[in-house]
Amino acid sequence: MSKQKPTKTAASGATTMITTTNHAAVLPRLVRRVIQNFLLVWLDANFDASNEDFKKSLQHLRKTVASITTFTDSQEAIDFLSVIKEEKVFMIVSGSLGQQIIPEIEAWPQLESIYVFCGNQAAHEQWARKIRKVRGVHTSIEPICEALQVDRENCDRAMVPITFNGIDALFMYTPLLKEALLDIEDDDTTSIKELAEYCRLQDDIDEDEIRMVEKEYHQHTPIWWFTAPFFLYPMLNCGLRLMNVDIILKLGFFIRHLHQHIDNLYQEQQSKTKITATFKVFRGQGLSVDVFEKMKQTKGGLMSFNNFLSTNENREVSLQFAHEGAAKNSDTVGILFIMNIDPTISSKSSIPYVDISKEGFYEGDEPEILFTSHTIFRIDQIQQIHDDHTDRLWQVNLTLVGNDNHELDKVTSPIRKELSWATGWSQLGHILIQLDDPTKAEKLYKILLEKTSSDEERSNYNYQLGETRHQHIHMMIEAKSEGCFIKCCTKTDITTCLRCRQMFYCDENYAQHRLDLSQQLEQLIIEKNNDPCQTQQYVSIENVDEWERCLFVKIQLVAKQVKQMSLSHDI
Model confidence pLDDT, tens digit, residues 178-233 = 888 888 878 899 999 999 999 998 877 889 999 999 999 999 999 999 999 999 99
Q: Whole domain around residue 285: which residue ranges?
A: 162-403
Q: Tell how many helices (H) and how many strands (E) occur in the chain.
A: 24, 18
Q: What is the largest distance, in Å, between two alpha-carbon atoms of the chain?
A: 94
The per-residue pLDDT for 550 is: 52
Same domain, 142 and 195: no
Q: Of how many residues is the chain composed?
A: 571
Question: Is 1 among the domain residues?
Answer: no
In order of 33, 42, 203, 207, 210, the CA distances from 13 in angstroms are 21, 22, 12, 5, 10
Same domain, 343 and 492: no
Same domain, 339 and 423: no
- Give me the number of domains the chain comprises: 4
Of 403, 421, 452, the domain-final residue: 403
Whole-angstrom distance, CA of residue 207 vs CA of residue 15 = 10
Of 102, 136, 158, the domain-final residue: 158
Percent composition of the chain: helix, strand, coil (DSSP 3-state, to 5)? 50, 20, 30
Model confidence pLDDT, tens digit, residues 484-494 = 344 433 333 33
Task: Please check whether residue 433 is in contact with residue 441, taking contact to mean a CB–CB distance below 8 angstroms.
Answer: yes
Same domain, 289 and 354: yes
Whole-angstrom distance, CA of residue 359 vs CA of residue 224 = 6
Same domain, 15 and 139: yes
Same domain, 231 and 375: yes
**Mean pLDDT computed over every residue of the chain:** 80
The pTM for the full model equals 0.78
Q: Answer positive or negative: Cα dihedral of 38, 44, 50, 52.
A: negative
Same domain, 258 and 393: yes
Same domain, 243 and 334: yes
Model confidence pLDDT, tens digit, residues 25-65 = 333 333 456 688 999 999 999 999 889 999 999 999 988 88
Mean pLDDT, range 361-385, rounded to an integer: 91
Same domain, 293 and 394: yes
Question: Is 2 among the domain residues?
Answer: no
The per-residue pLDDT for 551 is: 52
3-state DSSP of 120-145: CHHHHHHHHCCCCCEEEEECCHHHHH
Task: Please check whether residue 37 is in contact with residue 87, taking contact to mean a CB–CB distance below 8 angstroms.
Answer: yes
Same domain, 238 and 137: no
Cα distance from N-terminal residue to C-terminal residue, the chain: 66
438-451 and 455-473 helices, crossing angle to 10°: 160
Of 403, 419, 454, the domain-final residue: 403
Task: Please check whether residue 79 is in contact with residue 20, taking contact to mean a CB–CB distance below 8 angstroms.
Answer: no
Same domain, 464 and 480: no
252-273 and 174-182 helices, crossing angle to 10°: 100
CATH at 178: 3.90.176.10
